[in-house]
A and B are shown apart, each in its own frame.
Chain A
Amino acid sequence: MSSALPAPSGGPRREIDLEHVKPYADHLGDGIVQFSFTLPVPYGLAARKAAQELARKMGFAHPEVVHYQALTDGYTYFVMFGECTQTVDYATLSGEGFEIEYMSEDQIEAFAQEHIGRPIVIVGAATGTDTHSVGIDAMLNLKGFHGHHGLEGYKAFETHNLGSQVPNSVLVAKAIEVGADAILVSQTVTQQNLHVSNLTELVEIVEAEGRRGQMILTCGGPRVSNELAKELGYDAGFSKGTYPHHVASFIVRELAARVAAA
């Protein structure tokens, strides 16, 4: 199988076995991982032993505590290294087409003009009790983020940013009112997986309103992934590092596909 690439470094050329990949630290195949955690036990040699034992149970070979300290009575923090004994099959995963090619702002405008030919209506909010508008503002507001315009700045989009702490029901009502093509939801607070229940509720409301087929549902946030989004019933999810044109690329392509299929 042609799943092996030559190692990029100099010296004798080694084959990387892409079906059995493990972490690289100092040299190929060493599997070394750095990790840290706190245990609710008092500082001392017993605590150190416990951390090592736990790391071994996690599957690390030769776990080492390189630093540990008391945080307060009964709590000890550890920094550790260990050798990962597992491998992953990258060869198969790399064939599954996870990589998405993003369009530039100009390309998106042209694409939308050609395939949709009317303003695409987007409604966005940070929903539930989440007070953080930073994510939704970065995607929707004209100013955008790191020099990338938000969707408000595109001719292709008509945007409605409802801000933060918006109940899911209000967001959906607004989306219906303005005939939204897509909903964007931002979730920043993720303690005890609050974002998961909140995102689930939104999908349920959209479905209860009988609108699921007519709206593209997307969500984003520091702990939202595309996988999580799809699992919850969204069309796409966006994590940290997302710029507005990433979201825009997805929406115009998806909408164009739906228009073509209709």
Chain B
Amino acid sequence: MTSKLDLDPGVIASCRDAAAQIAGQVGEEIAHKTTVSVERTVARLLGVDGVNELDAPLPNVLVDHVADRGELGKGVGYWLGNALLDDERRSPQQIAQDVASGKLDLCALPRAEDGAIRARITSECETRLAEIRGRTQERHELRERLGESPPPVRYVLTATGNVYEDVVHGLAVAEAGGDIVAVIRSTAQSLLDYVPYGPTTEGYGGTFATQANFKIMREALDEWSAQHGRYVRLSSFCSGLCMPEIAAMGAIEGFDNMVNDALYGILYRDINPIRGLIDQRVSRMVNGWFGVTINTGEDNYLRTADAIEAAPSVTASQFINRQLALDSGVPDSQIALGDAFEIDIPVKNGLLYEWAQAQLTRELFPDCPVKYMPPTRHMDGNLYRTHAADSLFNLVTIATGQGIQTIGVPTEGIFTPHVHDRVIGLENVNYVFDTARDLGEEIEFKPGGIIQTRAKEVLRGAHELLERIAAGGLFAALGEGVFGDVPRQVGEGRGIEGIVATQDDYCNPVSELMRGAPSRV
């Protein structure tokens, strides 16, 4: 791709260097630590599922059992490995059940030799991961065989609270040309330190992300895809206090995409920054390994900060987020960085600034799909005006070649969209994408004009910000409220009690297999 913005490659390279430095510092800060959610993820990937008689999920029961005995610093993998060696007839699931019923105390069993434990749990994990990866492979083949729309792919949110209604809404989305259906999670879920179990029919602002709900949606969309000869992707949210567990559940149920951004939970749910970033590292690693495309959440900053002023923070965050994802083992082709069309409507030449920002994101990250979000913040309930704003958003999307577009719906800002609102939104998208399909190829920008000038200004701002963050560290920047105007302190926040220091003999077979590196690194 040739640059339409005349960006300085030296500045871009310097931004990348600063981002690498920042991500490296984050890596050091969160090393030698695990979380209860990371350990539950290990348990889930080893096949632990279900609930006890009080409806507590078995991964929680198992991990709490070890944590209560002060032994989580070795990792739940260590204790499962030891229990497997103790009695080869038990599977990890049976071990969890026996722990739940009080029949088994994992920390009281005779202790095998460390190397043997590690070898045993690693081979167990290898088998389980291979099995799940087989499903990832099936997904890949299904996508190839049925075919998908060319980018920008249309990403549509549903959020009824009832999984069976979500199926209806999801099918209406598929019918109208949607490419990715994402079921928003119930707003309450982000602060639960467990994943609810079973199909759910009640929830506000979204539907609980449970494995059973995942399966119901997946089956419905697969059936539609098979009948209509076009593959429809499914997405959910690796966010809140159970980021890595949701990544594991998504892999098991064959999800294609996942929102995955700890910063969102840190800024807007007051989740402790260290907890969030440890969970994110493992969550992204799991997504990356199973071929899931992640979406980051920079768009959200523009909901709480001004879109014109905050543009450099979005670009800076994209550099950092990409580097953190690469460090977790996610390749560029699976990193959909966030961006949004959120400039207030009456701003003169607002469209040109939006165009500059969207083009800038594409040119800075040519190998990342980029997830582009519609106007929401300034949508005032006048649904005709919103529909008009969405048309321009759609035009910028197609002309700048974004990878994934979250569609706008006319009733944005009024209520959770009704079933037909999404269809009306999609019709707008389809019309604009078709009518302006190759517009981007025909366009060059006036040298030194408004668009080029704006893009350079934003990049310069992002560069300054990245250098500043690299000097003080990401955690200090969070403390200052650099992102979204929301300050967060490293020693505060929800979920902080779930961080556990790892011991030298810490064993995490999932991380070791996925990263080919010892888990304490």
- Contact yes or no, A222 B414, CB < 8 A: yes
Q: How many residues of B contact A (CB 8 A)?
A: 35
- Contact yes or no, A241 B419, CB < 8 A: no
- Contact yes or no, A189 B187, CB < 8 A: yes
CA distance A77 to B175 in the complex (A): 13
Contacts A75-B419, A222-B415: A70 and B268 contacting too (C-beta < 8 A)?
no
- Contact yes or no, A72 B306, CB < 8 A: no
Identify which of A38, A77, A134, A194 contacts B204 (C-beta below 8 A).
Answer: A194
- Contact yes or no, A129 B205, CB < 8 A: yes
B100 interface residue, CB < 8 Å from A?
no
Identify which of A72, A137, A192 contacts B172 (C-beta below 8 A).
Answer: A72
B8 interface residue, CB < 8 Å from A?
no
Identify which of B205, B415, B416, B420 contacts A71 (C-beta below 8 A).
Answer: B420
Shortest Cβ distance from B377 into A: residue? A134
A143 interface residue, CB < 8 Å from B?
yes
CB proximity of A140 to chain B, nearest CB, Å: 12
- Contact yes or no, B413 A222, CB < 8 A: yes
Give residues of chain B (170-210) contacting chain A, Cβ–Cβ below 8 Å: 171-172, 174-176, 186-188, 190-191, 204-205
Identify which of A70, A192, A240 contacts B380 (C-beta below 8 A).
Answer: A240
A165 interface residue, CB < 8 Å from B?
yes
Give residues of chain A (207-241) contacting chain B, Cβ–Cβ below 8 Å: 222-223, 240-241
- Contact yes or no, A72 B171, CB < 8 A: yes
A133 interface residue, CB < 8 Å from B?
yes
B111 interface residue, CB < 8 Å from A?
no
CA distance A222 to B485 in the complex (A): 23
- Contact yes or no, B168 A134, CB < 8 A: no
CA distance A192 to B162 in the complex (A): 11
Chain B proximity mask over A109-145: 1 for CB below 8 Å, otherwise 0: 0000000000000000000011101100100010100
Shortest Cβ distance from B161 into A: residue? A191
Among A71, A133, A137, chain B packs the most CB atoms within 10 A around the CB of: A71
- Contact yes or no, B381 A222, CB < 8 A: yes
CB proximity of B323 to chain A, nearest CB, Å: 27
A75 proximity list for chain B (CB < 8 A): 168, 172, 419
Total number of residue pairs linking A and B with CB closer than 8 Å = 80
CB proximity of B19 to chain A, nearest CB, Å: 28
CA distance A191 to B306 in the complex (A): 28
CB proximity of A16 to chain B, nearest CB, Å: 25
- Contact yes or no, B205 A131, CB < 8 A: yes
B135 interface residue, CB < 8 Å from A?
no
B414 proximity list for chain A (CB < 8 A): 222-223
Identify which of A131, A134, A141, A191 contacts B416 (C-beta below 8 A).
Answer: A191
B4 interface residue, CB < 8 Å from A?
no
B186 proximity list for chain A (CB < 8 A): 129
- Contact yes or no, B423 A71, CB < 8 A: yes
Main DSSP-derived SS at the A contact region: loop
- Contact yes or no, A163 B171, CB < 8 A: no
CA distance A141 to B304 in the complex (A): 10
Contacts A165-B191, A189-B205: A38 and B304 contacting too (C-beta < 8 A)?
no
A72 proximity list for chain B (CB < 8 A): 168, 171-172, 174-175
Shortest Cβ distance from A74 into B: residue? B168
Identify which of A77, A141, A194 contacts B423 (C-beta below 8 A).
Answer: A77
B446 interface residue, CB < 8 Å from A?
no
Identify which of B191, B270, B415, B485 contacts A163 (C-beta below 8 A).
Answer: B270
Chain A proximity mask over B147-184: 1 for CB below 8 Å, otherwise 0: 00000000000011100000010011011100000000
- Contact yes or no, A165 B172, CB < 8 A: no
A249 interface residue, CB < 8 Å from B?
no
B269 interface residue, CB < 8 Å from A?
yes
- Contact yes or no, A240 B381, CB < 8 A: yes
CA distance A222 to B205 in the complex (A): 14
B416 proximity list for chain A (CB < 8 A): 189, 191
A130 proximity list for chain B (CB < 8 A): 187, 205
Give residues of chain A (1-37) contacting chain B, Cβ–Cβ below 8 Å: 36-37
Among A36, A163, A189, A192, chain B packs the most CB atoms within 10 A around the CB of: A189
B344 interface residue, CB < 8 Å from A?
yes
Contacts A129-B205, A222-B413: A71 and B175 contacting too (C-beta < 8 A)?
yes
B418 interface residue, CB < 8 Å from A?
yes
B381 proximity list for chain A (CB < 8 A): 222, 240-241
B515 interface residue, CB < 8 Å from A?
no
Among B187, B415, B485, chain A packs the most CB atoms within 10 A around the CB of: B187
- Contact yes or no, A134 B415, CB < 8 A: no
B303 interface residue, CB < 8 Å from A?
yes
B161 proximity list for chain A (CB < 8 A): 191-192
A200 proximity list for chain B (CB < 8 A): none
A96 interface residue, CB < 8 Å from B?
no
Give residues of chain A (34-54) contacting chain B, Cβ–Cβ below 8 Å: 36-38
Contacts A70-B175, A164-B268: A36 and B415 contacting too (C-beta < 8 A)?
no
CA distance A194 to B187 in the complex (A): 12
Among A75, A146, A164, chain B packs the most CB atoms within 10 A around the CB of: A75
Chain B proximity mask over A67-94: 1 for CB below 8 Å, otherwise 0: 0011111010100000000000000000
Complex A-B, nearest 7 residue pairs according to Cβ-Cβ distance, in ascending order? A129-B188, A72-B171, A189-B205, A71-B172, A77-B420, A72-B172, A131-B187
A-B contact pairs, 5 of them (CB 8 A): A146-B344, A189-B187, A191-B204, A222-B381, A223-B414
Given contacts A189-B416, A191-B159, A240-B381, list 15 more A-B pairs with CB under 8 A: A71-B420, A72-B172, A72-B175, A77-B420, A131-B190, A131-B205, A133-B268, A133-B304, A134-B303, A163-B270, A165-B187, A165-B191, A223-B414, A240-B380, A241-B381
